[in-house]
Structure 1
Amino acid sequence: MLQDYFETYVRDYEYYKGGAWCYEDGCLYRGLIALYEATGQRSWLDHLIRLVSGQIDAQGRLVGYEIDEFNIDNILPGRALVFLHRLTGERRWLDAAAPLARQLETHPRTGSDVYWHKLRYPHQIWLDGLYMALPFKVEYARAASEPQMVEEALRQFTTALDLTYDRQAELYRHGYDEARQQAWADAESGLSPAHWARSIGWLAMAFVDIIENLPAGATRRELNDRATALASRIIALRTADHRWLQVIDRPDEAQNYPESSATAMFSYFLQKLARLGGPAGVSEAGRASLQSLVGHEMRQDADGRLRLHNICCVAGLGGFNGRYRDGTVGYYLSEEIRADDIKGVGPMMMAYAETLLDTQSMMSQSAQPEGRAELSAAAKQ
C-alpha cells in the first residue's frame, strides 16, 4: 500500500511554490533519496532527477533562489544536489549547490556563531533551521573537500543544542532569541514557551543525518549520546497508540491532537538512530509509530484517493501575514491542519525506508529461512 501511495503522490506532485526553490520540495527529495537507497529501484531516482532538474535553469541557476534573502530554509533541497553529485560524479550538480554554500559563508549569525533563522528573524535560532542548514553543510563540505566546514557545522549544532535545551522538560524549545526582543521570548532564557513536536522532529532528524556523516570518534559518540537521551524522552511522551501530540508534552490540553508529520519524523529518527549505533530497542518504537500512523491516518477521501491526514501545515514564531505567532500551546493548536502536506509525506517516506533497511538487516543476519524476521505490518503494506 505505502509504495503505491508514494508512487502516486510523487507522480502527481506539483512544486510547492510553483517551481521556486524551497524547503518543502526538499522534504520530498529527502524521501525519494531514502527510498532509492533502501530499495535500489530506479523509479525513485528518476523522479528525483526529473523534479530537481526542473528547478535548475539553462545557466545552471536555481529557479527563484535569491542568495541575499538569507533564508535558511532554502538550503535543505541542496542536499539532493550533493547526493546526485556523489551518485553520478557529474560536476554540474555540485556547481548548482555552490550558491547555497556561499550563502552560508555570509548568512547572519548570532553572537554565539549560529545562523539566524532568516534575515527577517534577526538574532533568532529555530530548531527547524538546524535541520535545514547543517546536514547540508556537512555533506557539501565532504563533497568539496572542505573539512573546516564540517568542524564549524558541528560547533554550531552543539552550541544551538545548548541554547535551546529546556533542562526541566528534557526537551528542546522551538526558538531562541539572543536579543530577547521578541514577545515570545522568555526574558531570562530567551526561549519560546512551548514544545512543538515538529520542531523537535526537525532537530531529531538533524541529529541522525549529521551523525551518519561522521567518522567513529569522540564527536560522534557525544552526539549519539545526546540523541539517545532525546530518544528516551520522546518515547516516554508517546500517546497510547504510539504517536506524538502537536504540543508533545501537553496531553491535558483538550484540543491537542496526534500530529502526523512529527510522528513520521520521530519514526525515522528512532529507527535510524538504532541503525547508526544507538540503542537497538528504539528501532522497535520507531517501527510501531509508523505502523500506528498508517493505521490511523492513511484514509481514502471522498474521491477514493488515499491520503495522509492530520498534518500541521505550518507553524512559526513572530509576525507573519499580519498575525503574531506567540509560541504558546494555544497558538500551535490553532494552526491549519492539511492532508498530504509534503512535510508529513516526505518524512513518512524516510521512515518507511528505514523500516525496509531494518527488515533487510534482520533477514541478512538470519542463518535459517525459518528464523528470518517477518516484515512489520507497515513494511508489508
Structure 2
Amino acid sequence: MRVSTQSNLAAVTLAFALSVTSAAGEITDAARSKNSTWMASSIMSRSQGIMTGKGGSSELLQAGITQRALTALAAQYPDDAFTSDVKAYVLSSACSVSPFLQNASYDALSYPLDRLSNGHALLDYSAPTDNMTSGPGSFAGAAVALRDSIDYNRRNDEGGLWYFTYPQWSYLDGMYSLAPFYVRYHVEAETAYPIPAWKQATLAAVNDTYHQIDLLWSHTRNASSGLLAHGYDASRTAVWADPDTGASPHVWGRSLGWYAMALVDTLEVLPDSASEYRDLILEKWNSLASAVVKAVDPTTGGWWQILDEPGREGNYIESSGSAMFAYALLKGTRLGYFATNADLASTAVDAAIRGHEYLTDTFVVRETNGTLGYNGTVSVCSLNSTATYEYYVGQPINYNSVLGSAAYILASLEVERLAAL
C-alpha cells in the first residue's frame, strides 16, 4: 500500500490510531501464543511508536525501532492472522513520522542520527522507481530527504558524524540507525537505476558507513576487554574525554547494544560488490561478540547497565541492552557470521538463549488486562552529562519503554526461529 500525499498520510495515521485506541487491551489468544506477538500486540494496544512531535528527541527512535521489530515479526509470520494488523500498524507509524522528515537540512540539525531508524519503513512503502524521484508528501520523498540529511549532518575533522548537536561528539548509539539504512538505500537505488553513477554512489556510501563504524571502534575500544565506550569527543575538550583518544570513560550497555545490532544488520544488506568491507565488519563483529559473551553476568545471564563495572554497588542488569545483545548474537549466528569460529557460535547461542530466558522471567510482566508489560529499561543516557558511573546508574528506569520491549521482540523472534527447527 502506498500513500502519496501528506494529507492522506495524516488521515491514515489518525484513523488507525483511533482504531488501536478503541481496541486497547484486547489481546487475542493467537497473539498470546508467542512472546514476540504478545509483546507486539501489547505495544500496539498502548499506541507506542507513533510520532506525535511531543515526545522529545528520542521519539523518532521509538518509532523507528518499533517499525523494525514489527516488520521483522510480519516477515517471520506472514500467514498469521495477527500479521495484517502488524503491517497496518507499521504503516501508521511510517505515516506519523513522514511529515517530520521531509526537510533534509532541518532534520539533520534538529534530530539525532536516531532519525534514520525510520528509513527502512519509508523504503518499504515506496515504489522502487520512486526512490529518487518522488516529491514532498510521499514516503519516497521522505526517504530521499532522510538520506540527504546525512550529507547535511555535521562532522568532525576525521569525517566522523556528530551524533546530535553536541560539538564534535560521536556516539555508538547512532550506528543502528545510520549504517543499515545508509547502505540499503543505495543498494536499492542502484537496483532501480543500474548505471555507473549509482554504482559509484553505493560504493561511496558503503565506504562512508564503514568509516563511521571504524572511527568509533578506534576511538572507544578498550584493548583489554574488547568492549567499546559510549562515544568520543574528537576535540578532547569534554569533561569526560580521554586526553589521548577522546573516549568517554564507561561502557554503557544499551549504546553497545545499538552498535552490535548495527554490525549484524549492516552485514545483512551489504552488496556483493562490498566483499572487502564485509570482511572488515565480520572481523569487528567476531571480536565484539566474543567480548560481549565474556561480559555476560554468570549469575543471571543478563548484561549490566555499565559493562565495565560488573557487580559494583548500584549497577544492575538492564533489560534493553540485554535484549539487543541476545538478538545480535542469535541473528549473527543464524546468518553465518561466525562461520570460521564454531566455538564462539556455540557459546554465543547459549548466552543469548539464557539471557532471553532471564529477560522473560524477570522483566516481562503479565498485566491484568491481558497485555505484556516490560520493565528494567533505563531512560536515555547522554554524554551531555558528567558521564560518570554515578550518572549512568542514577538515571531513571522506565516501564514499558519500547526501546526495551521492541528489542525484546527482536530477540524473541530469533529464539522462536531456533525453537521451530
TM-score range, shorter chain: 0.7 to 0.9
Give the structure 1 partner of residue 358 of structure 2: 292
The CA deviation at 1:25 is 1.1
**Which residue among 153, 157, 174 is the counterpart of 2:209?**
153
Q: 1:189-338 to 2 correspondence within 5 Å? A: 189-215=245-271, 217-239=275-297, 240-279=299-338, 280-281=345-346, 282-300=348-366, 305-318=371-384, 325-338=385-398
Q: Out of 209-218 and 334-343, give the one that drifted further.
A: 209-218
Q: Determine the C-alpha separation between the residues in 2 that align with 1:267 and 1:87.
A: 33
CA 224–199 in structure 1, closer or farther in 2 if over 3 Å, else same: same
Of residues 67, 89, 92, the one that matches 1:47 is: 89
The equivalent residue for 1:29 is 67
Aligned-pair CA distance for 1:11: 2.8
Tell me which of 88, 92, 97 is aligned to 2:143. Answer: 97
**Residues 93-142 of structure 1, C-alpha deviation per residue, up to 9 Å, x if partnerless?**
32221111111112111111110111x21111110112222221111111
Q: What's the offset of the Cα at 1:211?
A: 0.7
* TM-score (structure 1 length as normaliser): 0.85
Task: Give the aligned partner of residue 178 of structure 2.
Answer: 133
Report the alpha carbon displacement of residue 51 of structure 1 after superposing the two structures with TM.
2.0
Q: Report how far residue 213 of structure 1 moved.
A: 1.1
Q: Is the Cα contact below 8 Å between 2:220 and 2:229 reproduced in 1?
A: yes
Which shows bigger deviation, 174-183 or 11-20?
A: 11-20
Displacement after TM superposition at 1:208 (Å): 0.4
- Given candidates 399, 405, 409, the residue that maps to 1:345 is 405
Aligned residue for 2:115?
74
1:109 aligns with 2:109: no
Secondary structure of 2:97's counterpart equals coil
Matched residue pairs, number? 352
Structure-1 residue corresponding to 2:15: none
1:14-42 Cα deviation digits (max 9, x unpaired): 45662467112111111111111211133
Aligned-pair distance for 1:303? 7.0
The residue identity in structure 1 corresponding to 2:174 is: G
Out of 20, 31, 39, the residue aligned to residue 5 of structure 1 is 39
CA distance in 2, matches of 1:295, 1:305: 16
Indicate how the Cα distance of structure 1 residues 177 and 61 shifts in structure 2: closer, same or farther if over 3 A, else same: closer
The Cα offsets for residues 136-187 of structure 1, whole Å up to 9 and x where unpaired, read as: 1111111222312222212222232222212122110101011011101112
In structure 2, how many angstroms separate the alpha carbons of the residues matched to 1:210 and 1:79? 12
Match of 2:220 among 159, 164, 172: 164
Inter-partner Cα distance in structure 2 for 1:12 and 1:208: 29
CA distance in 2, matches of 1:291, 1:153: 34
Per-residue CA deviation, residues 41-66 of structure 1 (Å, 9 max, x unaligned), is: 33321210122123335x99489x73
**Separation (CA, whole Å) in 2 of partners of 1:84 and 1:284:** 37
Q: Output the CA distance in 1 between the equivalents of 2:168 and 2:154.
A: 8
Change (3 A) 1:35 1:170: same
Query: What SS does the aligned partner of 1:191 have?
Result: coil
Residues in 2 aligned to 1:48 and 1:303: alpha-carbon distance in whole angstroms: 23
For the residue of structure 2 that corresponds to 1:307, the secondary structure is strand
2: distance between equivalents of 1:220 and 1:212?
10
Partner residue in 1 for 2:198 = none
SS at match of 1:230: helix
TM-score (norm 2): 0.77
Once residues 116 and 271 of structure 2 are traced to their aligned partners in structure 1, the CA distance between those partners, rounded to angstroms, is 24
Take 1:218 and 1:17, find their aligned partners in 2: how far apart are those partners? 38
Q: Distance in 1 between matches of 2:310 and 2:141?
A: 48
Q: Give, as a single letter, the amino acid of the residue that structure 2 aligns with 1:276.
A: L
**Deviation of the 1:224 alpha carbon:** 1.5
Deviations 1:64-110 (Å, cap 9, x if unpaired)? x7344263222221222123337998864322211111111121111
1:175 maps to which residue? 231
Q: Provide the secondary structure at the position in 1 that maps to 2:98.
A: coil
C-alpha distance after superposition, 1:290-348 (max 9, x if no partner): 12100111124577753111100110112xxxxxx211211100000011101101111
Tell me whether 269-278 or 208-217 shows the greater mean CA deviation. Answer: 208-217
Instruction: Report the identity percentage.
Output: 26
Counterparts of 1:275 and 1:26, CA distance in 2: 23
- State the Cα RMSD in Å: 2.5
Secondary structure of the residue that 2:166 maps to in structure 1?
coil
Tell me, in whole angstroms, the C-alpha distance in 2 between the residues paired with 1:143 and 1:94.
12
Cα separation, 2, equivalents of 1:16 and 1:51: 5
Deviation of residue 196 (structure 1)?
Answer: 0.7
